[in-house]
Amino acid sequence: MSNVCIIAWVYGRVQGVGFRYTTQHEAQRLGLTGYAKNMDDGSVEVVPVATRRRWKSLSSG
How many domains does the chain contain in total?
1
**DSSP 3-state assignment of 1?**
coil
DSSP bridge pairs for 44:
10, 38
pLDDT at 3 over 90: yes
Positions marked active-site = 20, 38
**Residue 36 is part of which domain span?**
3-59
Closest CA to 6 of 41, 45, 48: 48
Question: In which band, very low, low, confident or very high, does the pLDDT at 10 lie, cut at 50, 70 and 90?
Answer: very high
Q: What CATH number should be reported for the domain holding residue 45?
A: 3.30.70.100
What is the C-alpha to C-alpha distance for residues 8 and 53, in angstroms, rounded to an integer?
A: 20
Is residue 30 pLDDT above 70, yes or no? yes
